[in-house]
Structure 1
Amino acid sequence: MTGWEWYAGLEEDVECEGVYSVGGCETRDAAIAEAREQWPDKPIMVIEARMSTAKKHYVDPDIIPFTHTRNKELMGDDAA
């Protein structure tokens, strides 16, 4: 299992498809900053998560599911 890392995604992508486009950041602030570069005026979702390193958990090699999550937060366009 991986260590805890921060991920962020456009709110609509996270809610509809469960996709976090920004990931593997060491800090919450780093994930937010990277997401704000991509989507400066859109709501984003940030989350702290761990993933399995066992390949048996990967149905699609392009999608790696979280095994544990914490600190999920929706941030409006005023977040930074």
Structure 2
Amino acid sequence: MHLLERQTQLDELARCFQEARKGCGKLLLISAEAGLGKSSLVERFVSEHRRDARTFWGACDGLSTPSPRCTRLPPR
């Protein structure tokens, strides 16, 4: 898949990745409205650097509601 107008973001990811490889840890937050290509951007970057690092993929499900730990506390 060809990403339109994302070379700047890919270059920034690559720069941060190189800094991390030198021992300067990084945490990157990629945020945008739904459907603007966040996953595609990361998938492209990972595919281009797959041999250089081990990658892990996670996701959050915004539609799930966590169940409460305790629904009722006893009176004091």
| Structure that is richer in strand per residue | 1
Higher relative contact order, chain-length normalized (CA < 8 Å, sep 6+): 1
**Structure-2-length-normalised TM-score:** 0.26
- Rg: which structure is higher? 2
| Structure that is richer in helix per residue | 2
